[in-house]
Structure 1
Amino acid sequence: MPQAKNVLFIIIDQLRADCLSGALADHVKLPNLRAFMEEAVTFTRHYSVTNPCGPSRASLLTGQYAMNHRSIRNGTPLRHDTPNIATEMRKAGYMPMLFGYTDTSADPRVHDANDPVLKSYEQSMTGFLEVVEMRLEESYPWQGHLLKKGYEFDQYWDVYKPVSGDGQPPKLNDPALYRAEDSDTAFLTDAFLDGIAPHCGEGWFAHLTYIRPHPPLVAPAPYNDMYNPADIPLPQRLHSAEAEKELHPFFGPKLDVYTAKEFVHGFDEVEPTDENIRTLRAVYLGLATEVDHHIGRVVKYLKDSGRYDDTMLVITADHGEMLGDRHSWGKMTVYDAAYHTPLIIRLPDNEVQAGTQITVPTESIDVTPTILDWIGQTAPNAMDGRSLLPLLHGDIPEDWRSYSFSELDFSEPENPTLWQQRLGTGNSDSCLGILRDDRFTLVEFAADLPPILFDHQGQGEFENVADKPEFAADLVRLSRQMLRHRMRNMDHTLSLHSITSEGAKSRSRYYASR
């Protein structure tokens, strides 16, 4: 009888790559993720192909660039017939179990106008069996758990407000009202361990998605003040927000809308002082450590239950977080901190590659084709990503990409964004593309706005060199590369099918890696 092939696909929401390697790595304890890296393969130049949460997960789970799936904002529907990791795993005989959320907006064309599914963007992607609902803005099972435990709150969002222990006004790093054992992260992990336990002796696929360290930035004790804010480095930034805005017209609306105040609850204002910024960064790192603790529980369970060596384990993030860098918060921007994410994959029987690092560019759309490749299921041509299986075995294909590509849409059809109001852009041209190669990062806009070019052999993201004559040839070369990339990756759902006298035929988009 063939050995069961299990897949556990974990997404951590809004975890920066440099928490594991880079600027913040020495300031946060992630012992379980670091131990896992020693047993797995780490991809050091891995990027989300779009932001924010809903679009990034749409790309992760469908293997498509945003320019093809077009679920480009939280609340923008994903076409109901778009193939995804769950629909394709079902074809291979798996029941795709979801522990958490996918932030998928339903296609209104296939639902009645009164269907409640059309009133929240936090729905489950087609094909998944939602074992436990754990959505940031709803989380009814967790709310019920808290109420059963005796916690009191007037409304759900009060749960995310820090609570003072001495009757004084709360501080930014005061603890949450719930204990660590009752947190959203603990609750979800408990639900996963209980839900996966009966699935033994059979191949299973589970998608486990942690909300943290996504804001609101509030953590239970001891994670709320685990790190001394004075020990946390200040963000990487120019001397003032005004100086940041002068780099390009795009940055003014960004900095005016997404401020530190938007990332906490219970405070009328959060002044962007160094002390406050360090405190919020410390709470974020505490939440990351909390997630690490519970991932350690999951890995221990797999090992103790004898399933570790039957299971492909993928750990990544949907996108990054600015965390005060460039006087900026969130992920609606163009800088690497908002897109550069961890990707760590362990395959059974791949010990020879344990602890290795892959330094060629990889993209979030590669994850789903990799999982499908490992279980022996062919990825449909609609998927733009490529399987990482050869790279996991130490073989870099000669035709592997030399750059990464991301997109961002900054429009809102119902309520025009500050970008649209100030830049005079519409719903179809309020978007940008980002191309990163070994030296440069190019940002091009659909609207009539000047490009942005960063030279990483110079001042990197701290200087826009797009208008300097000595970089004119590089600007043209990279712009042509971006155009070619978009042309080569236009929707392939049916483009390689042919209707012939012998019936329908099709060709595979990429050569099989097996």
Structure 2
Amino acid sequence: MPQSGNVLFIVIDQLRADCLSGALADCIELPTLRALIADAVRFDRHFSVTNPCGPSRASILTGQYAMNHRSVRNGTPLRHDTPSIASEMRKAGYRPMLFGYTDTSADPRAYDASDPILKSYEHPMPGFDEVLEMRLEESYPWRAHLMQKGYAFQDYWDLHKPTAPDGGAPRLNDPAPYRAEDSDTAFLTDSFLNHMAPMAGQGWFTHLTYIRPHPPLVAPSPYNDMYDPAALPLPIRHADEAQDRAMHPFFEPTIDRHSAGDVVLGFDEVEPSDQNIQTLRSVYLGLTTEVDHHIGRVIQFLKDSGQYEQTLIVVTADHGEMLGDHHSWGKMTVFDAAYHTPLIIRVPGNQAQAGQVVTVPTESIDIAPTILDWVGRTPPNAMDGRSLLPLLTGDAPEDWRNCTYSELDFGDPQAKTLWQQQLGTGHSDSNLSILRDARFTLVEFAADLPPILFDHQQSGEMQNVANDPAYAADLARLGRQMLRHRMRNTDHTLSLHSITSDGPKVQTRY
């Protein structure tokens, strides 16, 4: 029987950190998350180590950089023997329960070629018990729920389109075709609460994953028009789109690949006007508030059932969303908005640190080791991340990292991406690495492309200063630091094991 109590691990898909602290925070109502922050510890410089959804979740759940697990795209298999939070929590006596999805692509070496598991990238990571399937492209339980409620739809994707209440042509922020109490967010929460009700005292581990505010951007009433588009701050960008494109060759295909029309369904074309962009941003905020409301129901359940003080609560996001910043949408880019994510952790009995903000850099790969550390399990050496428990108790290690590191693979081995077509990159060099310290962001490419350097004490992400001779020394220093980081974090699965005459020996990594 686990000794440390329950673990509730919530991931919100595509939630920007600045919804809680930053440009959008003053415009959005998030009472649950703000109350949790006051009772927990918030990590202010927390970043995803890779994008998009599948790779990011692979890193979160395995504690590995993408350069080690190599599930670098949606649809790229994850090795079946990779240690993960699920496999390690089982060793600690927990049954890892999944409500939602992990977007894991199965290892084809472990299955027959005709197995249906090899036809979708949305399967659960090995080790999880999928209590409720809520995969974006499937969601059969939710569909069944809507059908039982009398909703009629011929195509599943019609559920993701705004619907005009008067039956006319829809607007971008018209409501979804279902009521708020029947939304995918509500259904997921209802299923969690119904299943978990009898499990008090059993020492459970639950991974609860919300698809919203991930596009398609459509929200049920009242969340669809909860926020006035005119009251929101405009995206961070150059007034002339050409200036954002000109900062580096990578940004031309990046801007072209995703547009405002790609985040909403049911419209032939969406003009990228400020009005339309702000309207879509308002729907995104409405969806986020809806998720906050339902997380509130989960927190209240823990309190009402007497489990709040026995439960480690972790709330984060897999990655961010550009929302029109730099004339870009989605998360396939290099800017902070795509990687900077919220992280809130409440440790039972840690009231002395309630409301504290940790400002040292942390990464998404730190979450799995933290949970394992809390339940008394030593993280395997394969995990690149470090436990955050010392930071949670106000005792930062002297050797804690001073930078964050992320990767992005922008190629596709089956069909060349727009980046590959325009930049002339191949299968193995269509990738980049990002290093962020207190002042700079460095982006290096595997292909023969120039680096990108942002100086956050000057113009930040509005100007690439890599070609400025005044930054030559900084560029060289950061390049060496990135190389050393990669060298120090290459795969440690077996590298600290030794076969000796006395049998196998192992040294722990941290």
Tell me the percent identity.
73
Matched, 1:475 2:453: no
Q: Is the 8 A contact 2:64 2:385 kept in 1?
A: yes
Supply the distance in 1 between the matched residues of 2:14 and 2:418 (Cα, whole angstroms). 23
Conserved 8 A contact 1:4-1:201: no
Q: What SS does the corresponding residue of 2:168 show, helix, strand or coil?
A: coil
Alpha-carbon distance in structure 1 between the residues aligned to 2:353 and 2:167: 54
* 1:242 to partner: Cα distance: 1.7
Structure 2 equivalent of residue 34 of structure 1: 34
Q: Any conservation in 2 of the 1:3–1:310 contact (CA below 8 Å)?
A: no
8 A Cα contact 1:4 1:202, kept in partner: no
Contact 2:316/2:344 (8 A) holds in 1: yes
Partner of 1:444: 444
Which residue of structure 2 lines up, in the alignment, with residue 175 of structure 1? 175
**What are the Cα deviations for residues 350-384 of structure 1, in whole angstroms up to 9, with x where unaligned?**
00000000000000000000000000011000000
Trace 1:349-498 onto structure 2 (pairs within 5 A): 349-498=349-498
Residue matched to 2:237:
237
User: Are 2:49 and 2:339, in contact at CA under 8 Å, matched by a contact in 1?
Assistant: yes
Partner of 1:268: 268
Corresponding position of 1:143: 143
**Quick one: distance in 2 between partners of 1:218 and 1:390?**
40
2:176 paired with 1:210: no
In the TM superposition, what whole-angstrom CA distance separates every residue of 1:442-481 from its partner, at most 9, and x where no partner exists? 0000000000000001000000000111100000000000
Structure 1: distance between partners of 2:159 and 2:458 = 45
1:100-146, CA deviations, whole angstroms, 9 ceiling, x for partnerless residues? 00000000011000000000000000000000000000000000001
**Secondary structure of residue in 2 paired with 1:15:** coil
Inter-partner Cα distance in structure 1 for 2:6 and 2:167: 50
User: How does 1:8-407 map onto structure 2 within 5 Å?
Assistant: 8-407=8-407
Supply the distance in 2 between the matched residues of 1:145 and 1:4 (Cα, whole angstroms).
Answer: 36
Aligned-pair CA distance for 1:3 = 5.7
- How many Å separate the matches in 2 of 1:464 and 1:235? 18
- Distance in 2, matches of 1:149 and 1:410, equals 42
Deviation at 1:27, TM superposition (A): 0.5
1:285-325 Cα shifts (integer Å, max 9, x gaps): 00000000000000010011000000000000000000001
Residue-by-residue CA offset, 1:5-62 (whole Å, 9 max, x unaligned): 1000000000000000000000010011000000000000000000000000000000
Q: Secondary structure at the match of 1:499?
A: strand
Per the TM alignment, residue 167 of structure 1 is displaced from its structure 2 partner at its CA by 2.4
Alpha-carbon distance in structure 1 between the residues aligned to 2:92 and 2:34: 32
TM superposition shift of 1:241:
2.0
- 2: CA distance between counterparts of 1:257 and 1:18? 24
* Deviation larger for 228-237 or 307-316: 228-237
CA distance in 2 between counterparts of 1:490 and 1:149 reads 52
| Counterpart residue type for residue 304 of structure 2 | D
8 Å Cα contact 1:240/1:327 also seen in 2: no
TM-score (norm 1): 0.99
Q: Match of 1:58, SS?
A: helix
The CA distance in 2 between the partners of 1:123 and 1:293, in whole Å, is 27
Q: Give deviations 1:183-239, integer Å, cap 9, x for gaps.
A: 000000000111111212221100000000000000000000001111111101001
Greater mean deviation of Cα atoms: 226-235 or 318-327:
226-235
CA-to-partner distance for each residue in 1:151-206, whole Å, 9 max, x for gaps? Answer: 11111001001100112200000000000000000000000111111212221100
What per-residue deviation string (whole Å, max 9, x for no partner) do you get for residues 268-291 of structure 1? 000000000000000000000000
Cα pair 1:320 1:340 within 8 Å, conserved: yes
Q: 1:460 to 1:305 in 2, by over 3 A?
A: same
C-alpha distance in 1, partners of 2:93/2:193?
Answer: 22
8 Å contact kept, 1:32–1:293? yes
Q: Which moved more, 1:240-249 or 1:47-56?
A: 240-249
Unaligned runs of 5+ in 2: none
Q: Tell me if structure 2 keeps the 8 A contact 1:225–1:283.
A: yes
Query: Secondary structure of the equivalent of 1:170?
Result: coil
User: Once superposed, what is the RMSD of the aligned Cα atoms?
Assistant: 0.8
Segments ≥4 residues shifted beyond 2 Å? 1-4
Q: Which stretch of structure 1 is more off in the superposition, 82-91 or 199-208? A: 199-208
Could you tell me which amino acid in structure 1 is paired with residue 186 of structure 2?
A
| 8 A contact 1:13–1:209 mirrored in 2 | yes
Q: Is the 8 A contact 1:369 1:379 kept in 2?
A: yes
Q: Structure 1: 5+ residue runs without aligned partners?
A: none
CA distance, structure 1, for counterparts of residue 168 and residue 276 of structure 2:
18
Aligned AA for 1:53? C
- How big is the shift at 1:4? 5.1
